[in-house]
Amino acid sequence: MASYNNTKSSQSSITARKWYTDMDLNITPHPSSGDLVLKFDKDAVKRSVRNIMLTNNYERPFKPNFGANLRGLLFELADDMTKYEIRKQIMEALEMLEPRVRIQNIYLSSVRNSMHISLHYGVVGSKEPQTLEVILQRVR
Amino acid sequence: MSTVKSSQVNITDLDFDDIASNLKEYLKGQSTLKDYNFEGSNISLLIDLLAYSSHVSAFNANMVASELFLDTAQIRKNVVSRAKEIGYTPTSATASMATIDLQVNNPLIGGETPSSLTLNRGHKFKTTYDGFVFPYVLLDSQTISPLNGVFKFEDLKLYQGTMNSDIFAYNGQIQNQRFALSEELVDTTSITVTVSSTGGGASAWSQAEDISGVDKDSKVWYVQENDQGLFEVYFGDGVISAEPLDGDTITISYLVTNETHTEGASIFTMTDTIGGNSDVTIVTQTASSGGKAKEGIESIRFAASKFYTSQNRLVTVDDYKSKLQTLYPGADSISVWGGEDNNPPAFGKIFIAIKPSQNVNKLTTSEKTLLRDKMRKLNMLTVRPEIVDADIIDILVTTNFKFNPRATTKTVSELETLVRAAIITHDSTYLSGFDSIFRHSVLATDIDNAESSILSNTTTVKLRKTVTPTLGQSKGYEVEFGEGNKFYNPHSGHNKHGGGILETTGFLVSGFTDTFFLDDDGEGNLRRYSLSGSTRVYADSQAGTVDYSNGKITINGINILSTSNTDDTIHFTVIPNSYDSVAFRSNLLDINTSLINVNGATDTIASGDTSAGVGYTSSTSYS
């Protein structure tokens, strides 16, 4: 796994060297080179966080505990207890599955049968705050 | 991007975690995609999917490979198919069979006494078993004429189940045409096949048992189990046995038995009438027995390999054992030994003892003849198979147990009943077949475990054999318990004045009016005595010999006129040297349930009635 030096002098090189690289599941070719388009650093981490939040337990083969397991909570009452539960599950999942992320805050608001989640977090090795918006709603 | 060699991927692991780990190791060799170690990443998702796919493929490949071999196949149709490759056909369900005598009382047909009566194949009977009615049918037609005005069918064999028929048209245009029977619980030994030609003639075809005996004109059929678990009948191709003609009608009649085998059922009533006559008297000769489920895959695995080893020939003892399972599929236990191991040795013979079922110990004479005929087609020319009856060695059990009355709410008699039931269960569990061993400590443990309040038991054992003497003839007898069942004789002359270790029931001898018994003097002599009050009056101090170390009693020539036992038998009861007993050759060990002696007593120390062991009594451990 890649390592990094958390000093100001190397900060610029961190950005330039692309510490985290992941592939894009859209699997689209680069318009000029024709190579697979990749995701780097904060985008790669954001994609990972999104994957974790939108995955339910038992969805990943042989990894029954993977995911924040939020889908079942969609059918709970939209009260403070449910919000507490959503926060708790997101935090537990990310702490367990995504070591690159430090959660700063989770804002929840229920809007017409859906739950808007705004996750504020930082990426290890980067000072830039990150935000991820996820809307949980029934699809049919 | 650094170069990664695909040969560096370890592909020998089959588990999900190992495959995923190997893929990650592989990805370490490149720098384009770095997030493979973060579980939420897209590349991690793809690794998981690939590992899952590889795992499933590996599992499937492993399973397919397993199904290719008889030893490892798990799916029945594959086990059957592998067995078929080596010529073995699994046995079907076997119907339970009972033998009865049936007397028709004052039969009238058309208002007159008929000259003969016929019972046809499929004639229906029924019995009630565990509160449910089960059908029985006759498979072999029988016609009788009256004997002294009495219409009596003797030794009718009734088979559990109902008759069924399937009718097919033979189409010569279809290759390998097979006719699957519509029922699963078919007893294939009951199948009859009739081929009717378009011209109107019908003929019964027979089952091919051995391919060496058929030619292009042999009217035979074959049977096998198909991949749906149904039995199917098929015919030859005109080269190896005859082929039916295009358009012929095939009628297959067979018995469909039940899943529940009515073992032990002995009361039968007739459902059909005989030419309108229903007033019959049925006497059951042998209770229903021999019912068996379709052969399971573990049994097929075992029997098929043995069948292949024997190559359908009877040469070694194991050949006989495996083939007899096919020739007599319902057998509860089979024992085979060479004539050289017999006592006395009988060279050129092979001895076979079959216990037909849990409830029946002997084959009927007709069954023995049928089996012998079948074996003679397969055995060596100079070796004669001899089917002998099973000998029973009765184990007489006496048990004295101690129990803690504070640990149970049951009475002494209730505990005694429980102990008796435990002994009977032990008998049916461990002593049902040949080659069985009675292990005293196992029985003692079973008795201790019969109820939690039972603290200990002292169980003693005697062995008993029953001899049926030839009445009115001077003749010697041998009563053999086997080398494994030595008699108790700690020193020469043991218990000489108390009658040694042998006791018998009484019998009358020609020339004497007294009832005689036998005992031994502890020195190897058999003594014949009568009783004067309780005193033994010896008439012959050398009436035979007792071989303590070989477990054998030899009686010199004696003319026995009658016995005290009403069934013309004499019981020989001995004290064995060891409480563990073994069944040898044709012997079956059996705990005689009617002679189990059980006595329960309060353990006075456990109950607190006795302190410091004062007044505590214990039972003797010597028979």
pLDDT of A7 > 60? The answer is no
> Mean pLDDT throughout B534-560?
92
More confident residue, B553 or B619: B553
Looking at the complex, report in whole angstroms how far the Cα of residue A88 sits from the nearest Cα belonging to chain B.
18
In three-state form (DSSP H/G/I as H, E/B as E, the rest C), the secondary structure along B572-617 is EEECECCCCEECCCCEEEEECHHHCEEEEEECHHHHCCCCCCCCCC
Average pLDDT taken over every residue of chain B: 88
Interface A:B, Cβ pairs < 8 A: 68
Average pLDDT over residues B587-608: 83
Q: Which residue in the set A2, A47, A97 is minimally distant from B42, CB to CB?
A: A47
| pLDDT attached to residue B611 | 64
pLDDT given at position A6 = 45
Asked if the C-beta of A66 comes within 8 angstroms of chain B's C-beta atoms, the answer is yes
The pLDDT score that the predictor gives to residue B4 is: 54
Interface contact A83, partner B, CB < 8 A: no
DSSP string, B325-373: HHHSTT-SEEEEEEGGGSSS--TTEEEEEEE-SSS--S--HHHHHHHHH
Distance CA B445, CA B78 (A): 43
pLDDT of residue B2: 47
Chain B interface, Cβ < 8 Å to A: 16-17, 32-35, 37-43, 45-46, 48-49, 51-52, 55
Q: What is the average per-residue pLDDT within B171-199?
A: 91
Mean pLDDT, all residues of chain A: 84
pLDDT, greater one: B620 or B65 = B65
pLDDT band at B371 (very low <50, low <70, confident <90, very high): confident
pLDDT of residue B330: 67
- Which SS3 state, helix, strand or coil, does residue B264 take? coil
CB of B527 closer than 8 Å to CB of B520: yes
- Residue-level pLDDT at B616: 74
Task: Provide the shortest C-alpha distance from residue B226 to chain A (in Å).
Answer: 37
Position A103 pLDDT exceeds 80: yes
Cα–Cα nearest to B2, from B45, B28, B31, B22: B31
Percent of chain B whose predicted confidence (pLDDT) is above 90: 51
**Mean pLDDT in residue range A79-99:** 93
For residue B33, which residues of chain A lie inside 8 Å, CB to CB? Answer: 21-23, 38
Instruction: Using a CB–CB cutoff of 8 Å, tell me whether A135 touches chain B.
Output: no
pLDDT at A17 over 60: no
Beta-carbon contacts of B1 under 8 Å, excluding residues fewer than 6 positions away, are: B30, B31, B32
Q: Does the pLDDT value for residue B289 go beyond 80?
A: yes
The pLDDT, as a whole number, for residue A1 is 42
Confidence band of B75 (pLDDT split at 50, 70, 90): very high
pLDDT score of B623: 61
Q: Choose among A19, A21, A48: nearest Cβ to B40.
A: A48
The pLDDT, as a whole number, for residue B355 is: 79
Spell out which residues of chain A touch residue B37, defining contact as CB-CB under 8 Å. Answer: 1
> What would the two tokens of residue A89 be?
């599950």
Is the pLDDT at A12 greater than 60? The verdict is no
Output B330 or A118, whichever has higher pLDDT.
A118
Query: Between vectors from CA B17 to CA B11 and to CA B21, what angle results, nearest 5°?
Result: 60
- Across the range A36-54, mean pLDDT stands at 90
- For the segment A28-56, the average pLDDT, to the nearest whole number, is 90
The larger pLDDT score, comparing residue B448 to residue B327, is at B448
pLDDT at residue A4 in the model: 45
Residue B614: pLDDT over 80:
no
pTM over 0.80: no
pLDDT at B415 over 90: yes
CA separation for the pair B206, B187 (Å, rounded): 16
> Is the model's pLDDT at B408 over the cut of 50?
yes
User: pLDDT band at residue B188, thresholds of 50, 70 and 90?
Assistant: very high
Mean pLDDT of B497-502: 91
Query: How confident is the model at residue A5, as a pLDDT?
Result: 46
Q: Where does B86-144 show beta strands of DSSP type E?
A: 97-104, 117-119, 124-129, 132-138, 142-144
Burial of B54 (0-12, 13-18, 19+ CB in 10 A): buried
> Which residues in chain A are closer than 8 Å to B45, comparing Cβ atoms?
25, 51, 60
What is the separation, in whole angstroms, between the first and last Cα of chain B? 90
Block residue for tokens 């219409």? B151
* B52 closest CB neighbour out of A38, A44, A61: A61
CB-based contact A20 B49, cutoff 8 Å: no
pLDDT band at B428 (very low <50, low <70, confident <90, very high): confident
Whether the per-residue pLDDT at B562 is higher than 50: the answer is yes
CA distances, B203 to each of B186, B187, B197, B251 (Å): 22, 22, 9, 10
pLDDT of A8 over the 50 cut: no
Model confidence at B420: pLDDT above 80: yes
**pLDDT for the residue B610:** 67
Tell me, what's the ipTM? 0.82
State mean pLDDT over A112-131: 90
A1/B42 CB distance under 8 A: no
DSSP structure string for B446-509:
HHHTTSTTEEEEEEEEEEEEEE---TTSEEEEEEE--TTSPBP-SSTTTTGGGTTTEEE--EEE
Average pLDDT in the B115-126 region? Answer: 93
Mean pLDDT of B504-515: 93
pLDDT for B356 equals: 76
Question: Do residues B600 and B529 lie in contact, with contact meaning Cβ atoms separated by under 8 Å?
Answer: no
Task: Kindly state the greatest CA–CA separation across chain A.
Answer: 52
Residue A2: pLDDT band (50, 70, 90) is very low
CB contact under 8 A, B34 and A2: yes
**CB B454, CB B403: distance < 8 Å:** yes
Q: Which of B42, B43, B48 sits opposite A63 (nearest CB)?
A: B48
Nearest to A100 among B17, B38, B42 (CB): B38
